Amino acid sequence: MAKALMIVGSMSSVGKSTLVAGLCRIFSNRGYKVAPFKAQNMSTFLVSCESGTFISTAQYLQALAARQRPSPMMNPIILKPLGNMRSEVYVLGKPRCVASLISYKSMKQELWEVVKRALDQLLENYEIVILEGAGSPVELNLKDGDIVNMQVAKYTRAPTFIVGDIERGGIFAQLLGTYWLMSKDEKRLVKGLVVNKFKGDVSLFSEGVRILEEQSGLPVLGVVPYFETKLPPEDSLSGNPDQIDDVEDGIFDKIAQVLEGHLDVSKIENILFDS
């Protein structure tokens, strides 16, 4: 049975997808058979897999980073926005229906079963599955219907890392607030914090690291500098779908190199296999 690792963010666009891609390449380089996983994604552009099914851009690229064939099992639920609060719902890579926000909520229990089956299949066939959350895991009014964040972490008993975006400000509120708003059983899974998108000399944030560790009781596993990934943004491809074919494999090595220089990957590996 594979080991699972969960990456959640303090909010949307903190860099979770890039971190997961980088970790997929890092662990692949270390000889592990790795798969990415995101239970539910919202994307305006979908990529066709060899099986004729579809997957979101982010998980497609993460699969390439892991040197694995992209599969809808890596992204079992996709919402493709249509406007007017309606989305086309894809289940295991195939269009299922068009749903409003209200009607989609009524599908959550059925979709959670789909998510679990997809996860179980990946866990049986890979050594490491790197899970990606969506948005914030502590949108308290939405937690009852969660099928993508800590519900997934609890199902897999995955050690979880919270990522914050320091470029947008409020990094202490982002990371500490997210952790403090989690339930007790969720907090037990959280094993570290990551500060992402730091501009300048990362050593200048050493006092910030001390404060975060003191206030949370958790290790800061890295302060990752801001860098251009050259990966196409997920929602920018609708005008030029060929961009996905222009991504060179070396980009994933460059992302991995940056992360290995600023994340304590050996500690992450130890946490993963000691869990």
pLDDT tens-place string over residues 154-189: 999 999 999 999 999 999 999 999 999 999 999 999
Q: Where are the domains of the chain?
A: 3-274
Q: Which pLDDT belongs to residue 231? A: 77
Q: Which pLDDT belongs to residue 230? A: 72
The average pLDDT across 84-98 equals: 95
CA atoms of 75 and 92, how far apart (whole Å): 7
CATH superfamily of 3-274: P-loop containing nucleotide triphosphate hydrolases (3.40.50.300)
User: Is the predicted pLDDT of residue 106 greater than 70, yes or no?
Assistant: yes
Q: Which pLDDT belongs to residue 240? A: 47
Computed over every residue of the chain, the mean pLDDT equals 93
Banded pLDDT at 234 (limits 50, 70, 90): low
pTM of this structure: 0.94
User: Is the predicted pLDDT of residue 62 greater than 60, yes or no?
Assistant: yes
